[in-house]
């Protein structure tokens, strides 16, 4: 009997966002033997978790690892994911609940690769995340910024598209006022959508020399999902 993976994303009205989660689920299924993977969305997109769990059940899965397709441990991972696990158990599935994707060294690898691919000799970076009302989530973004600064040997400022400060515009502007010649902005999101588009618009309006794409279905993100899957499997064995 194959194992299942349910990759649970927040969801967006932008179809580009759902496509990334489905792409990553398919890549993980191809990479891991005897695994059936589905993506689901907590809101604004389909399938929702109950529908995806029904699909896994129909495909012969007896146990499922539920992984949040999220970079930070915040409201959705703390509140919604346990509810998804309960729904899976009610279907008779054996359940493992895995961790959010970040922080992880492979995610830093993806960021560095994207920055290098811009071809810009940046001397400051803004790490632009969605932002959260949960201080723990924002603190995690700040920790990632420090780790990136240590690796790249340039100042890295965390910034947020909503719910927290500094804003992306403020962070880019402050970096230039502090003496930077070329500021690169990292779009610290998993998928395209409203926030990613806004981050690019704000950054370019402030004169950012480069703005990376969301981390999306990069090989590093696929590898992080596989790692989180194996961690959850090992913890339950």
135-190, pLDDT tens digit by residue? 989 999 999 999 999 999 999 999 999 999 999 999 999 999 999 999 999 999 99
Please state, as a whole number, how many other Cβ atoms lie within 10 Å of the Cβ of residue 99.
17
Q: Domains in the chain, ordered, with CATH?
A: 3-101+217-236 (3.40.50.1400), 105-211 (3.40.50.1400)
153-182 burial code (b ≥16 CB/10 A, e <16):
ebbbbbbbbeebeebbbbbbbbbeeeebeb
At residue 75, the pLDDT reads: 55
CA distance 176 to 71: 28
Query: If residue 159 lies in a helix (H) or strand (E), which one and from where to where?
Result: strand 156-160
CA distance 132 to 53: 28
Summarised one tens digit per residue, pLDDT across range 12-67 is: 999 999 999 999 999 999 999 999 999 999 999 999 999 999 999 999 999 999 99
């Amino acid at each position: 009997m194959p194992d299942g993976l349910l990759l649970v994303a927040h969801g967006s009205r932008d179809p580009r966002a759902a496509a990334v989660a489905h792409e990553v689920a398919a890549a993980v299924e191809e990479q891991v033997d005897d695994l059936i993977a589905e993506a689901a969305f907590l809101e604004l997109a389909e399938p929702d978790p109950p529908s995806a769990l029904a699909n896994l059940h129909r495909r012969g899965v007896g146990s499922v690892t539920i992984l949040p397709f999220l970079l930070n441990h915040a409201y959705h991972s703390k509140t919604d994911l346990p509810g998804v696990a309960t729904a899976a158990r009610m279907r008779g599935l054996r359940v493992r609940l895995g961790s959010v994707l970040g922080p992880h060294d492979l995610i830093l690898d993806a960021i560095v690769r994207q920055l290098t691919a811009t071809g810009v000799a940046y001397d400051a970076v803004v790490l632009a995340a969605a932002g959260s009302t949960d201080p723990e989530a924002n603190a995690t973004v700040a920790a990632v910024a420090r780790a990136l600064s240590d690796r790249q040997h340039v100042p890295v400022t965390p910034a947020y598209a909503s719910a927290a400060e500094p804003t992306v515009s403020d962070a880019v502007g402050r970096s230039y006022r502090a003496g930077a010649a070329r500021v690169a902005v990292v779009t610290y999101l998993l998928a395209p959508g409203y926030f990613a588009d806004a981050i690019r618009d704000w950054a370019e309006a402030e004169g950012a020399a480069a703005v990376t794409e969301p981390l999306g279905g990069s090989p590093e993100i696929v590898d992080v999902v596989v790692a989180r899957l194996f961690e959850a499997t090992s913890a339950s064995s």
